[in-house]
Structure 1
């Protein structure tokens, strides 16, 4: 019986992923991602109809009045948490990728300056931590361009990639390719970079992100920092020891209002120290994509195929 047509790719690399190693002969590339969102969330104080303050350890209550206590828990990320996180990364000499909301950088210029100073990759996470899937293509493009330009103004760097709060629409990758983004991260479907699939998709690299190795689990499935740290370590060790051929990428999502809390920060520092003794390459997402492009293009050329474009 014929299979129904689909624009989705269920096969990917399959049982035989490409055989290569990351720089330094590493088997696993670890991508740390800082989500810079504080100040870009919906807020009654800013004139929005409702607060958008639930993404931390204090549960928000639906209300049409301002809740200053909830606001303060969100603000911890920009006032204290981000600086503890950056200190840890500097201590270990690790560069991360910053998914930046434009308004968050505008409200706290020292964060923008510190990210650039420390060599972290600047990526686009929206203008005001916006949702996009309900927008038409033109409205989405206007919002993406606005956030891109505002982030460039705050940092002096054109964002390399774009990550949506609520995911992609079928036409989003074309918008990204048309407006100068070099890759995108709105996928959870693999352990390696790949080319976006589906009719009408541009030739744009995709570096999948991860939802489980993400500190947002600290107010969901991980009851303690130790549980979160153990999960990170288990994920890394599996990728290192897996008999599956080839390399892998491990993405770790970090939110300063969460991982910046002292006990949670310890879990991250212990994970980095553990990984430092393993066959691991800590890298920005841009560096991972560029290494993948360079290695796979060279392999295709050597094999007599057409280089990736």
Structure 2
């Protein structure tokens, strides 16, 4: 068996993480991530190398080579309707999110790009399309990363702060991120706190989360209320667990899912609970900056 060539850190901060607080004395920082993917999904019938339509509800499949227009329209819902419901909810709570943006999704709907910037949300790079990178050669991945960053910057007028791949890091992703000038890395699920990364590169890591993510509404949570209860339970535990130090709670959101009328109430209820609990709702960029300031003092 070939040894994994990248170093791994299984110790982290250990039993005693840094004993600092987020701005305002908060124990928990809530990172809301809105995934702008709708319109960037792959479809074999449209010439893609794979089919992403199963990343919604399951149903019959059309004949090979035929487009599944119904499921395509489910993704279109996120761009046409869901994103605006999500943005209205965030505005009502005065909450800022980090937008993981696929460049082709913004190209297809530039009004979303303008609205994200208008409302003060952080712009991040989620790839040229909603693509897999794990099998790519270094120069191919770096080239795609460069293209997506330039397109997103042209559409939004701001430089994307981080890059997040749909299928995780390759052995060369972090070097490519440094080359593109990203501020931090979001491709990890390994902690509740920011950390330097195990490879020694000057690119801090702000971990993401897969459990506190609305994609599980398609399988794990039977109702929006169940998802809200799950999020609130995570928030309550992080705010009261008997160990020193702060935490980050990442919440993944997809307009085609959480933007549905039956589900948006989960986000509304969670944001109300977070405010009542004194959590700091912040962009990942601000979390990275606050952590660097607090731990270097």
TM over 0.5: yes
- Give the secondary structure class of the aligned counterpart of 2:189: coil
Residue correspondences, number: 293
* Matching residue of 2:39: 39
Between stretches 44-53 and 79-88, larger displacement belongs to 44-53
> C-alpha offsets along residues 250-275 of structure 1, whole Å, 9 cap, x if unaligned?
00000000000012000110010111
Contact kept? 1:213, 1:232, Cα under 8 Å = yes
Aligned partner of 2:135 in structure 1 is 134
1:283 aligns to what?
282
RMSD: 1.6
Q: Is the 8 A contact 2:146 2:180 kept in 1?
A: yes
Question: Are 1:54 and 1:60, in contact at CA under 8 Å, matched by a contact in 2?
Answer: no
The 3-state SS of whatever aligns with 2:11 is coil
Give CA deviations for 1:97-143 in whole Å, capped at 9, x if unaligned.
00000000000011000000000000000001111010011110000
Paired position in structure 2 for 1:249? 248
Partner of 2:193: 192
Deviation at 1:27, TM superposition (A): 0.4
Aligned to 2:179: 178
Q: 1:46 to 1:225 in 2, by over 3 A?
A: same
**Any stretches of 5+ residues in structure 2 without a counterpart?**
none
- Distance between the aligned counterparts of 2:203 and 2:51, measured in 1? 35
Q: What TM-score do the two structures reach when normalised by structure 2?
A: 0.95
Contact residue 36 and residue 100 of structure 2 kept, 8 A: yes
Give me the TM-score of the superposition, normalised by structure 1: 0.92
Q: Residue by residue, what CA displacement relative to the aligned partner does 1:126-182 show, whole Å, maximum 9, x if unpaired?
A: 001111010011110000000000100110111000000000012211110121000
Q: Does 1:148 align with 2:149?
A: yes
> Could you tell me how far apart the structure 1 residues matched to 2:145 and 2:49 are?
23
1:263 match: secondary structure:
coil
Structure 1 residue 49, shift from structure 2 partner: 5.6
**Displacement of 1:18:** 0.1
2:185 aligns to what SS in structure 1?
A: coil
